[in-house]
Amino acid sequence: MRAMSTLSVIESGCESSVVPSRHDSFTRQALRELIVETLRAVVRGHDVEGRIADHLAILSKHASATDNSLNSIVNDAIAELYWKISPSASADPFDRDLDGIVCDSLKLAAETYADNDVAKGAARKRRSALIGTIELYIVECERRSRVNGWSYVGRLLGNWFPAERGAFLRRR
């Protein structure tokens, strides 16, 4: 028998009209783990251990046991993952900027992996946004370092170009 639906708002601002069950929770967790493992495999360039297939099997098992809409469970799982890296989730500007780099990197990766002309145009925009977010991060690091009497950019350039290290640090 299906549980009676109620309308509730989750933290992401999305509405959910289902009463979560134990299977929903397991399905959300299995989906999150599948997404994470897929990202790891893409970065490694392989999944020789078969982790993705294992996580797909676990997801399938739990998803088939739930009475609620799989779409709703998927949306909740995605909202939970987004909340973890959302730049607005952190009060610290340094962490927000770093989370912004992660989000913009994922957006660029998604458009880069897509196989259509619209995605190619979107990828160019995403690349520009990522570069802007990285620059914002560097500016925030420099601002913080200057408050503490040193230069992040000077140290960064000195690490990459050790022969000119003194010149970068003196130019402040």
Paired with 9 in beta bridges are 15
Residue ranges of E strands in 10-160: 15-16
pTM given for the model? 0.72
Q: Are residues 112 and 52 in the same domain?
A: no
Q: Are residues 99 and 163 in the same domain?
A: yes
* 106 occurs within a structural domain: yes
Q: Are residues 108 and 166 in the same domain?
A: yes
Q: Are residues 64 and 128 in the same domain?
A: no
Q: Are residues 78 and 124 in the same domain?
A: no
Q: How many domains does the chain have?
A: 2
pLDDT digit of tens for each residue in the chain (172 aa)? 334 333 333 444 444 454 567 889 999 999 999 999 999 999 999 999 999 999 999 999 999 999 889 999 999 999 999 888 887 766 777 778 888 899 999 999 999 999 999 998 999 999 999 999 999 999 999 999 999 999 999 999 988 988 765 555 555 4
Q: Are residues 62 and 108 in the same domain?
A: no
Give the structural domain span for 33: 8-84
Tell me the CA distances in angstroms from 46 to 38, 42, 126, one per residue in order.
Answer: 10, 7, 25
Paired with 15 in beta bridges are 9
* 1 occurs within a structural domain: no
* 3 occurs within a structural domain: no
Handedness of CA 43, 47, 51, 53 (dihedral sign): positive
